[in-house]
Amino acid sequence: MFTTRTWSLDKLAKMKRLIVNADDFGLAPGVNCAILELHQAGAISSATLMAVGPYFSPAVYMAFEQPALGVGCHVVLVDGSPCLRKDEVPSLLDPRNPSAFRGTAGQFFADALRGRIREAEIEAEAVAQIRRIQMSGLTVSHVDSHKHVHALPRVLAPILRAARKCGVSCVRNPFEPHWSLRATRAGGRRRIQVLVMKTQRRRFLKLVAAHGIVTTDGSIGLLATGILNDTVLRSLLQAMPAGTWELVCHPGYNDAALAKVRTRLRESRETERSALLQVIPAALQGDSNLALIDYHQLAR
């Protein structure tokens, strides 16, 4: 009895639990189709749905066709339009274009740090987006945010309150560990952005714990956004230690609808789709200590 228990704990300590989450579900038909294809192939376990995405309804239909796919809420506060009436969230709107959110995360962060964005409006908009998904009949597994704006504590706090209010118990940990940054071997402006964001990690963990929300040990693939090919993905999985990690990815097909969206991720979405198909199922088959999970399992 004692021997079996010891083996079980030892096995558990060596386990690598991975959530492979595709962002931007609902953005374009090619993104929706790629997510469906990857889930059916066992290459992703989760997707975060944009409640204000132009192809929200088709994504909901696809999600119902795949009940094992975990579906979270990709809270959009940048580069989009609100779920609520514009007069209900005036501080979230771009002062230069008051019909929509600020166009970039840089604008959003600058105004949030200056106190120009009201936390109450962030919370109200996050609640509206989560509830829109829930009203479709889907269960929201977790929350994250477009452009990772919830890395900032004054944005995170109202989003956590919104999650609690809606009965959602998990949130993305948007900070990439050093082992993953080393394995990605990419530099430049993106690395600086990821490292600057990491300065908020300690405050993030305190806030998450204070709100009784569950999260992972960290996210991988942030630095690799736009360059996540099969070589980089294999490098990340080979370097991954025991623990619970989320691979953040943006797969898709570069279709006509995506061409109308303001995003730098176009051709790279097809590269990611191909890499996930080639690498994830083979990695799961080849490593008995690697398990693919979603946020529902993490919450339990």
3-state SS string over the chain?
A: CHHHHHHHHHHHHHCEEEEEEEEEECCCHHHHHHHHHHHHCCCCCEEEECCCCCCHHHHHHHHHHCCCCEEEEEECCCCCCCCCCHHHCHHHEECCEEEEECCCHHHHHHHHHCCCCCHHHHHHHHHHHHHHHHHCCCCEEEEEEHHHHHHCHHHHHHHHHHHHHCCCCEECCCCCCHHHHHHHCCCHHHHHHHHHHHCCHHHHHHHHHHCCCECCCEEECCCCCCCCCHHHHHHHHHHCCCEEEEEEECCCCCCHHHHCCCCCCCHHHHHHHHHHHHHHHHHHHHCCCEEECCHHHHHC
Whether residue 1 is contained in a domain is answered as: no
**Is 284 within 8 Å of 8 (Cβ atoms)?**
no
Q: For residue 250, what are the domain limits?
A: 15-299
| pLDDT given for residue 8 in this prediction | 57
Write the pLDDT tens digit of every residue in 51-110: 999 999 999 999 999 999 999 999 999 999 999 999 999 999 999 999 999 999 999 999
Nearest to 40 by CA among 22, 27, 57: 22
pLDDT at residue 300, rounded to an integer:
82
Whole-number pLDDT of residue 4: 39
How confident is the model over 158-188, as pLDDT tens digits?
999 999 999 999 999 999 999 999 999 877 8
Q: Whole-number mean pLDDT of the chain?
A: 94
pLDDT of residue 3 exceeding 60: no
Query: Is 8 a domain residue?
Result: no
Instruction: Judge whether residue 234 has pLDDT over 90.
Output: yes
- pLDDT over 90 at 9, yes or no: no
For residue 9, is it within any domain? no
In a domain, 83, yes or no: yes
Q: Percent of the chain having pLDDT more than 70?
A: 96
Work out the average pLDDT over 1-24. Answer: 70
Say if residue 189's pLDDT is above 50: yes
Token reading at 197: 């964001």
Task: Kindly indicate the confidence band of residue 1, based on its pLDDT and cuts at 50, 70 and 90.
Answer: very low
Q: Is residue 7 part of a domain?
A: no
Q: Is the residue at 274 inside a domain? A: yes
pLDDT for position 93:
98
Q: How confident is the model at residue 11 (pLDDT cuts 50, 70, 90)?
A: low
From 27-36, 157-166, 188-197, 220-229, the region with the lowest mean pLDDT: 188-197
What's the pLDDT score for residue 121?
98
Q: pLDDT tens, 245-300?
A: 999 999 999 999 988 888 888 898 999 999 999 999 999 999 999 999 999 999 88
- Which CATH number is 229's domain given? 3.20.20.370
| Structural domains of the chain, count | 1
